Structure 1
Amino acid sequence: MGILWTLIIGAIAGWLGAQIFKGGSLGLVGNIIVGIIGGAIGYWLLGTVLGTALIGQILTGAVGSIVLLAIINLFTRGRA
């Protein structure tokens, strides 16, 4: 059940990060991957500042996703 929650929270966080960071949508699987990695980045940056409840986890993942999408955008800017 933990893996399922990780995928759901990752998908939501990745989608939310892509909505805030325009042009960063990578599809469902990409959003899940960006959300999970973004959750790790967000936790590394913020810790539990936004809380440990579901909403806090989603917001932490979204912040990390935005950071990750910005880094991806730096390396892929100008490519078709």
Structure 2
Amino acid sequence: MLWLLLIGLISGWLAGLISRGRGFGIWGDLVTGVLGSFIGGYLFNLIGMPVYGTIGSIISSTIGAIIFLWILRMFSNVAPAAHKKE
């Protein structure tokens, strides 16, 4: 359980760095990473690429978290930081 949370924290932080240039804080990174691990694991198994090991788990979780953030932004009314009008 602790290992799942640590991988979720790392992958949520990486997804935050990739998608918005910084993380979401410890709890935001954790939630994003754990949800991303479920999405990434499902998608990787769906295309026939099972994930093994710690590095594979971090990669699939990060990709799943990026997809989760992309879907979240599709349905939210908040503009990305780069496109906000001041």
The 2-side partners of 1:77 and 1:66 are apart by: 18
Q: Which residue of 1 aligns with 2:30?
A: 32
The 1-side partners of 2:64 and 2:30 are apart by: 13
The 1-side partners of 2:27 and 2:4 are apart by: 13
Task: Report the CA distance shift for 1:24/1:68 in structure 2 as closer, same or farther (over 3 A).
Answer: farther
Q: How does 1:48-63 map to 2 (within 5 A)?
A: 49=49, 51-63=51-63
Task: Report the CA distance shift for 1:70/1:24 in structure 2 as closer, same or farther (over 3 A).
Answer: farther
Q: Which residue of 2 aligns with 1:46?
A: 44
What TM-score do the two structures reach when normalised by structure 1?
0.83
Alpha-carbon distance, 1:18 to partner: 1.1
The answer for unaligned runs of 5 or more in structure 2 is 80-86
Q: Percent identity?
A: 34
What TM-score do the two structures reach when normalised by structure 2?
0.78
Q: How does 1:1-80 map to 2 (within 5 A)?
A: 3-22=1-20, 25-47=23-45, 49=49, 51-78=51-78
Alpha-carbon distance, 1:21 to partner: 1.1
Q: CA RMSD in A?
A: 2.0
Moved more, 52-61 or 13-22: 13-22
Letter in 1 for 2:41: Y
Q: Indicate if the aligned counterparts of 2:5 and 2:30 stay in contact, CA closer than 8 A.
A: yes
Q: Indicate if the aligned counterparts of 2:41 and 2:51 stay in contact, CA closer than 8 A.
A: no
The answer for unaligned runs of 5 or more in structure 1 is none
